[in-house]
Amino acid sequence: MIGTEMSFLPLIHTTWEEWLALHPETSVLSYETDFQSQYRNVTIGMPNGRFDRELLSVDDRLRSEELVLGVMVGDAFVAYPVTSLEQTTGVINVQVDGTPIVVFYDAVANAGIAFSRNLDGKIARFERAPGASFLAVDSISGSLWDFSGRNVSDDLADASLTFETSYLSEWYGWSAYHPDTTIYEEP
């Protein structure tokens, strides 16, 4: 399998409550096992920027620990700072490397993900649907889509948006792997 690239799967960084709403069939492994002594505590984050010294390059356009939604489309990389996403409706229609995408951001769950805007050969625009939970409506069919890109309208019940490689990361990690990344700025 030399030369074979693994594909990315959608990864949603969210709250347990939001995850269960999207995936009610989820099971959880218990922390209470006979092997608990073999578990270790892991500290998340970069206290005092301690990893800056270990990186081959440091990009100071953002704070090292700033959370970004990193999006990869073709050979293009874009970082969407969560602080910028918080200033939006939670739905951003953009083009990355000529590809129309939509970025979903759910402030309640502090989660972000990107999808293609191509619906059956037509380019849709998405808007946030009113309501407490995250839903977006497309301009072509008027269907509702949940945060994981699944259609929740009766007319397209089994349809899903095409995932564009995207995930939440701290800036130091995203920029180290993708030094040519651009940073999203609101139009």
Task: Output the pLDDT for position 20.
Answer: 81
Task: Output the pLDDT for position 48.
Answer: 47
CA gap 114, 162 in Å, rounded: 9
Task: Output the pLDDT for position 91.
Answer: 97
Task: Output the pLDDT for position 136.
Answer: 96
Query: How confident is the chain (187 residues) per 10-residue block, as mean pLDDT?
Result: 77 74 79 70 51 66 94 96 95 96 92 94 96 90 92 80 94 93 89
Task: Output the pLDDT for position 50.
Answer: 52
Task: Output the pLDDT for position 132.
Answer: 74
List the one residue out of 172, 168, 169 whose CA is nearest residue 58: 172
Sequence letter at residue 173: G
Task: Output the pLDDT for position 5.
Answer: 77
Phi, psi of 172 (to 5 degrees): -60, -40
CA gap 179, 59 in Å, rounded: 8
Task: Output the pLDDT for position 168.
Answer: 93
Domains and CATH numbers, the chain: 67-187 (2.102.10.10)
- Per the CB < 8 A criterion, the answer to whether 83 and 66 are in contact is yes
Task: Output the pLDDT for position 37.
Answer: 72
- Per the CB < 8 A criterion, the answer to whether 163 and 115 are in contact is yes
Output the 3-class SS for the chain.
CCCCCCCCCCCCCCCHHHHHHHCCCCCCCCCCCCCHHHCCCCCCCCHHHHHHHHCCCCCCCCCCCCEEEEEEECCEEEEEEHHHHCCCCCEEEEEECCEEEEEEEECCCCEEEEEECEECCEECCEEECCCCCCEEEECCCCCEEECCCEECCHHHCCCECCEECEEEEEHHHHHHHCCCCEECCCC
